[in-house]
Chains A and B, each alone.
Chain A
Amino acid sequence: MAQQLKSHWYHILLSLAGGARHGLAIARDVRQSSTGGLRLWPATLYGSLEALSDLGWIEEIDDPSRRPDASERKRYYGITRAGRAALDGETQRLADLVRLARAVSRRQGV
C-alpha cells in the first residue's frame, strides 16, 4: 500500500480500529485525536463512510445497544480485515516518512 490514503479516511479507520462506532461518534473521536484540527462535516463524513464501505474496508454492523422499536436507527460501523490492512499500510508509510525526515534533519544538524 504505497499509495497515500486520504487523511480523513485514515482518521476514520483509526477511530474504528478502537471499536465499532456510529457516525457522530467517529467525527467526535477524529476531532479529539487530531486535537481539534480535523473536523468532518456531515457530507464528508457520511460520504467517506459510504466510500469505505464500498471498498470493503469497513462494514455496517448491528447496533449493539439497539432496542427493537427504535425508530431512528443509527448505523454502526466496524473495521474489516481489509480495512485494518489499509490502515497498517498507511501507518507504515507514515512511519517510514518520519524516519526519513528525522534522518535528513539530523544530517543537517537541525
Chain B
Amino acid sequence: MTGDSARRWYRRLLHLAPPRLRARHGAEMEEAFLHAWGEARGAGPLAAAGVWLRAAGDLLMASLRALIGSGQRAGAFPSERRSWMLGTELRYAFRSFRRQRSATALVVTMLTLGIAANIVVFSLINSLFLRPFQFAEPDRLVYFNERAPRWNLERVGINYPDFVQWRKDARVFESLALYSDTSFNLADDQGALRILGGQLTYDFLTVVGLRPIVGRFFTAEEDRPNAARVTVISERMWRDRFGADPSAVGKTLRLNGIPHEIVGVLPRAAEFPFEALAWVPLAGDPNQEGQSYSWDGIGRLKPGVSAQEAETDLLRAHQPIWETKDKDKNVSPLVRPLREELVQDFGTIATALFAAVTLLLAIACANVAAVMLARAIARRREMGIRLAVGANRLRLLRQLFVENVLLAIFGGIAGVAVGRWAFHLLVTSVGDGLPYWVSPALDGRIVAFSVLLTVATTVLFGWAPALHAVRGDLRSAMNDSVGGTTASPGGRRTLTWLVAAEFTIASILLAGGGLLFRAFDQVRHVNPGFSADHVLTFSVALPSANYKDGPARIAFWDRLLERLRATPGVEAASVITCPPLSCHWGNFYRIEGRPPLKPGESNPVVLTRVASDGYFESMKIRLKAGRFFTPEDGRTGSPQVVIVNENFVRTFWPTETDVIGKRIAFNGPKNPWMDVIGVTGEVKHYGLEQPMRPGLYFPAQMLPERTGGMAVMIRTAGDPEAFTPTARLIVQQLDPTLPLYRIRTMEQALARSMQTRAVYSWMLAVFAGLALVLALGGTYGVTSYLVTQRTREIGIRMAMGAGAADIVRSILRGSLTAIVIGMVLGLASVVGLARLLGDMLFGVPPHDPLIHATAAVALILAAILANWLPARRAARTDPMVSLKI
C-alpha cells in the first residue's frame, strides 16, 4: 500500500469521527495517522494492520465520547446537535425501539436463541474436530490396525511381527509406532493406587512430534523383551508426586509390584492414550510365533500422502505375511486418519447437530426478516413524511442501518451470554461421556464468528425492508398508510411465505428431533439381558510379582468371595474377567463334528469370559438350557465344561435343538474337548445398541492363569453405592497393596453407555422446541402486524354485520393455508432426510406415523395460537374506534 492510498483510506475512515473534529482537524489527523502508519510499515504487515485497527478504534471511541457528551451539552449548544449524527441516530433508534417494544423484543429474542444455539454447537464441533490433540501437524497422523472380516472383526488389533514387517517395508510413512492403554497398580508407603498408563514402542514420540520435558524417552534397546525396566511419567504425575523436581529422573517407581527406573517426563500433550500417567516400553518380540492381535497403531505420513495411499502402501508391505504365515489372507492392514478414528460416530452426530443448528438459525433469520419487513412496512408512512419534509434518503437508510446494527448487538450480547451458560451446562452434563482427548472450551473465535454472523444476518435481512420502506414514490407511501387499510399485497405475500418457510424448517426439526428421541427411547427399553439394579462392580488386579501362578490367584478370589458373601447386605457376589459393557477378549474354537474350515470360510470370533460360580445368579442372567456353574466346575480332575450364549448356538449349531453335552475345544489339534453344560440368554455386552457376538464362559478354576485381573460383582440388598467402603475394607484386609478401580454400579455403567445418545437426543429435542417457539413467535409477530394494518377493514366489516367469529375465521384462513403447505413440505422432506441419520435412528422408520402426527399437531396448534391471539384482539375492537383511526 502506498502512502497515497493509505491517506485515501484513512480519509474514508475519518467519516466515523464526529463531524466537527473532522472539519476542523481532518488534514492534520491524516498527517498524524500517516506518520504512525509509516513507522509501523517498516515493522511488517502485522504491525501495519494493527495501526489500522487502532486508528479505527480511536475514531470510533472519539465519536462515542462525543455522543456521551452530546446528551449533557445538548441544551447548552443546540447548534451542535446537528453535527453529531450518530448520536441523533442512536437516540432515534432507541425511541423507535421503545415505540415498538414487542417487535424489538421479538427480534432480540430470535437472535439470542439463534446465536446461543450456534455457539453451543460450533463450540462442541470445534472441541471435537478442530482442536482435539496438541500433536504437531495432526493432519499427517493416521491410525492403523488390522481388519479381519472373516472373523467378523472390523479391527482385530495389530500383531507385533506384522508391525515389524510394516515398519521395515513401508514407504509413505515417516514413522510408525504401536500403543496400547493399560493400567498399573502403584503401591508405596502412601497407599495403593490404580493409575492409567500406556505401553508404547520407542518411536512413539517421533510420530506425535513431541519431546520429553525432562530426561529422555525409551531407546530401541529398552523396547525389547527382557530389557531393563524403565518408565516415562507424565508431567501431571511429575508435579503431583515429585513436586516437579528434575531429580525425579533416576528414581524408581513400583508399577505392578516391579521397580521401574524413571528415565523421562513427557508433556501434558503426550497423555495418550487416555489420561496416561506413566508409560512403559511395549517390548514386543518380533520372532515369537502365534502372538495375539492386540495393539493399536499410530503413524506419521510423509507430507501430501492420504490415508488411502498409506493403506495401499501397508498392503504392499504386508504381502510377505500372506505368503508365509497367513496363507488364507485373513488379516489385512487398515489405515484411517487419526482424527476420524478418534471421533468415530461423533462425526455423524456432529453433522446432524450442525444441520439442526443451521436450520434453527435459518428460522431465526426468517423471523428477523419477517419482523423487520413488517416494521418497515408499518413505518412507510413515517418514512414518507420524513422524506416529504426534506429528509435525506441516505440519512434515513443510515438511521435504519443503525437500528439494525443495534438490534444485532443486543441479540449478540444476550446470545453470547445464554450460549456460554448453555455450553457450560452441556459440558457438565456430559462429563465423562466426552472422548478423553476433548477439552471442551468456548473459543473466542467462535463467539466472534457467531456474533458477526448475526450482525450480518440482521443487517442483511433488515436492509431489504429498509430499502423497501425508503424506496418508491412518496405519494403511494403516504396513501398506503394514511387510510390505515390493508398493507400492499406484495409485502403481505412476502410475509406469508416467510412464515410458511419457517414452518417448513420447524417441521423438519420437530419431526427429525422426534425421530431421534423415539430412537433414544427404544434404546433405553432394550433388555440388557441382566438385571442392573442393586449391583456394584469394581475391578481388582493381582500383580504377577506377588500372585505368581494360577492357584495363588484363585485362592485370593475364593477368599474374597467367601468374605463378601458372609457380609450382611450382600445377596450374591462373584468375579468375572469382563462384565457387560466393558472389555473384550476374543478367541477361536473348534466345534466337534464340524469339518475344518475351508479357506475363505468365515469364522466369527467368540467373546470369551472367565467367571466364578454364582456369576449368573448375581447378575440375574437367564438360563435357556442346562445349568449354571457350581463351585466344583473346572477343578483339576473334574470334566472340562463351558457355558455358551444363544448367539453361539445360532452361529455354530444353527439346526440343533438341544446342544447340552456337545463339545468344543480351543483351536489347535491338541487342545482337549470341553462339554457345553448350559446356554444363557443374550447379554448386551457391547452396549444396548450394539449387536451381540457369539460368546462363552469358562469356570474360573479351569483357566486360573487368566484371573489376574477381575471385576467383582456384588448384588446388594440396599443401595449398592453405599456398599463401596465395606467392599474396599474387605479387599484391603486381604491385601493392603491392592487398589480398587473402575468402581461403579451397573446402573451407572448402563447410563454411561447411553450418555452420548442421551445428550444429542436432548439437544435436538431442545432445538426442535426452540424451532417451534421461534416459528410461533415469528408468526405471531407477522399476523399481529397484518391484523393491525387491517384494523380499518375489520371495522368496516363489523359495521356491516360480520360477527367476531367471521373475523377470526377470515384471518386464520389467510395464513393457515400457507402454513399447512409449508408443514407438509417439511414433513415430507424429513422422510427423505432422516435416512442420512442411519444408525442414529436405531431402526425407527423415517416415516414413523406417531412422530409425524405429533409434530403435525404441535405445529398446527402453534400456528392456530399464533394467529388466533391477534385475530381475537382484532375482532374485539369496537368498530367505531377502529374506523376513527
Is A42 a contact of B24 with CB atoms below 8 Å? no
Contact of B29 among A22, A39, A42, A72 (CB under 8 A): A42
Is B28 a contact of A43 with CB atoms below 8 Å? no
Contact with A along B30-42 (1 / 0, CB 8 A): 1111011000000
Give the number of residue pairs across the A-B interface with Cβ within 8 Å: 59
- B-facing residues in A1-54 (Cβ within 8 Å): 22-24, 27, 39, 41-47, 49-50
Contact with B along A71-99 (1 / 0, CB 8 A): 01011000000000000000000000000
Instruction: List chain B residues, Cβ under 8 A from A41.
Output: 32-33, 36, 54-55, 57-58
Tell me the complex Cα distance, A49–B20, Å. 13
Contact of B61 among A22, A44, A46, A72 (CB under 8 A): A44
Q: Write the chain A residue with the least CB distance to B73.
A: A54
Is B27 a contact of A72 with CB atoms below 8 Å? yes
Tell me the complex Cα distance, A74–B26, Å. 11
Label chain A's interface by main secondary structure. Answer: helix
Tell me the complex Cα distance, A41–B29, Å. 9
Label chain B's interface by main secondary structure. Answer: helix
Instruction: List chain B residues, Cβ under 8 A from A22.
Output: 28
Is A44 a contact of B28 with CB atoms below 8 Å? no
Tell me the complex Cα distance, A45–B62, Å. 10
Given contacts A41-B54, A44-B61, A24 and B28 within 8 Å (CB-CB): yes
* CB of A26 to closest CB in B, whole Å: 10
Instruction: List chain B residues, Cβ under 8 A from A23.
Output: 25, 28, 32
Per the CB 8 Å criterion, the residue count for chain A at the interface is 17
Tell me the complex Cα distance, A74–B24, Å. 11
Given contacts A24-B28, A72-B27, A43 and B59 within 8 Å (CB-CB): yes
Tell me the complex Cα distance, A30–B682, Å. 82
Tell me the complex Cα distance, A74–B30, Å. 12
Instruction: List chain B residues, Cβ under 8 A from A49.
Output: 25
Contact of A46 among B29, B54, B55, B65 (CB under 8 A): B29
Is A43 a contact of B17 with CB atoms below 8 Å? yes
Contact of B36 among A39, A74, A75 (CB under 8 A): A39
Closest 6 CB pairs of A and B: A41-B58, A43-B62, A42-B29, A46-B25, A42-B32, A43-B58
Tell me the complex Cα distance, A105–B395, Å. 59
B interface residues with partner A (beta carbon < 8 Å): 17-18, 20-21, 24-25, 27-33, 35-36, 54-55, 57-59, 61-62, 65-66
* CB of B305 to closest CB in A, whole Å: 49
In the assembled complex, 16 residue pairs joining A and B whose CB atoms fall closer than 8 Å, in A order, are A23-B25, A23-B32, A24-B28, A24-B32, A27-B32, A39-B36, A41-B55, A42-B25, A42-B29, A42-B30, A43-B29, A43-B62, A44-B61, A46-B21, A46-B28, A46-B32
Tell me the complex Cα distance, A74–B65, Å. 25
Tell me the complex Cα distance, A49–B21, Å. 10
Instruction: List chain B residues, Cβ under 8 A from A27.
Output: 32, 35
Instruction: List chain A residues, Cβ under 8 A from B35.
Output: 24, 27
Tell me the complex Cα distance, A22–B28, Å. 9
Q: Write the chain A residue with the least CB distance to B51.
A: A41
Q: Which of A23, A44, A47, A74 has the most CB of B within 10 A?
A: A47
Q: Write the chain B residue with the least CB distance to A22.
A: B28
Tell me the complex Cα distance, A100–B110, Å. 55
Q: Write the chain B residue with the least CB distance to A46.
A: B25
* CB of A58 to closest CB in B, whole Å: 14
Tell me the complex Cα distance, A50–B28, Å. 13
Is A43 a contact of B21 with CB atoms below 8 Å? yes
* CB of B76 to closest CB in A, whole Å: 11
Is A42 a contact of B58 with CB atoms below 8 Å? yes
Q: Write the chain A residue with the least CB distance to B35.
A: A24
Tell me the complex Cα distance, A42–B25, Å. 9
Is A45 a contact of B21 with CB atoms below 8 Å? no
Tell me the complex Cα distance, A47–B64, Å. 12
Tell me the complex Cα distance, A9–B17, Å. 19
Tell me the complex Cα distance, A47–B25, Å. 9
* CB of A61 to closest CB in B, whole Å: 15
Tell me the complex Cα distance, A43–B55, Å. 8
Instruction: List chain A residues, Cβ under 8 A from B29.
Output: 42-43, 45-46
Q: What would 15 more interface pairs be, CB under 8 Å, given A22-B28, A42-B25, A46-B29?
A: A23-B25, A24-B28, A27-B32, A27-B35, A43-B17, A43-B58, A43-B59, A44-B61, A46-B21, A46-B32, A47-B62, A50-B20, A72-B27, A74-B28, A75-B28
Tell me the complex Cα distance, A49–B24, Å. 11
Q: Write the chain B residue with the least CB distance to A39.
A: B36
Tell me the complex Cα distance, A44–B32, Å. 11
Tell me the complex Cα distance, A77–B419, Å. 51
Instruction: List chain B residues, Cβ under 8 A from A45.
Output: 29, 32
Is A24 a contact of B61 with CB atoms below 8 Å? no
Is B58 a contact of A44 with CB atoms below 8 Å? yes
Is A42 a contact of B65 with CB atoms below 8 Å? no
Q: Write the chain A residue with the least CB distance to B28.
A: A23
* CB of B315 to closest CB in A, whole Å: 63
Given contacts A23-B32, A24-B31, A24-B35, A43 and B61 within 8 Å (CB-CB): yes
Is A47 a contact of B65 with CB atoms below 8 Å? yes
- B-facing residues in A52-71 (Cβ within 8 Å): none
Is A42 a contact of B33 with CB atoms below 8 Å? yes
Instruction: List chain A residues, Cβ under 8 A from B20.
Output: 50
Instruction: List chain A residues, Cβ under 8 A from B18.
Output: 47
Q: Write the chain B residue with the least CB distance to A43.
A: B62
Tell me the complex Cα distance, A72–B31, Å. 11
Q: Which of A39, A41, A74 has the most CB of B within 10 A?
A: A41
* CB of B64 to closest CB in A, whole Å: 10
Tell me the complex Cα distance, A72–B26, Å. 11
Instruction: List chain A residues, Cβ under 8 A from B54.
Output: 41
Tell me the complex Cα distance, A22–B59, Å. 20
Is A44 a contact of B27 with CB atoms below 8 Å? no
* CB of B853 to closest CB in A, whole Å: 63
Given contacts A43-B62, A44-B62, A50 and B31 within 8 Å (CB-CB): no
Instruction: List chain A residues, Cβ under 8 A from B55.
Output: 41-42
* CB of A35 to closest CB in B, whole Å: 16
Instruction: List chain A residues, Cβ under 8 A from B25.
Output: 23, 42, 46, 49-50, 75
Instruction: List chain A residues, Cβ under 8 A from B62.
Output: 43-44, 47
Instruction: List chain B residues, Cβ under 8 A from A43.
Output: 17, 21, 29, 58-59, 61-62
Tell me the complex Cα distance, A72–B25, Å. 11
* CB of A101 to closest CB in B, whole Å: 30
Contact of B21 among A39, A50, A72, A74 (CB under 8 A): A50
* CB of A8 to closest CB in B, whole Å: 11
Tell me the complex Cα distance, A18–B59, Å. 28
* CB of B567 to closest CB in A, whole Å: 62
Instruction: List chain A residues, Cβ under 8 A from B17.
Output: 43
Tell me the complex Cα distance, A74–B31, Å. 11
Q: Which of B17, B24, B25, B55 has the most CB of A within 10 A?
A: B25
Tell me the complex Cα distance, A49–B32, Å. 14
Tell me the complex Cα distance, A46–B32, Å. 10
Instruction: List chain B residues, Cβ under 8 A from A24.
Output: 28, 31-32, 35
Tell me the complex Cα distance, A49–B66, Å. 14
Tell me the complex Cα distance, A24–B29, Å. 8
* CB of B761 to closest CB in A, whole Å: 53
* CB of A11 to closest CB in B, whole Å: 15
Instruction: List chain B residues, Cβ under 8 A from A47.
Output: 18, 21, 62, 65-66
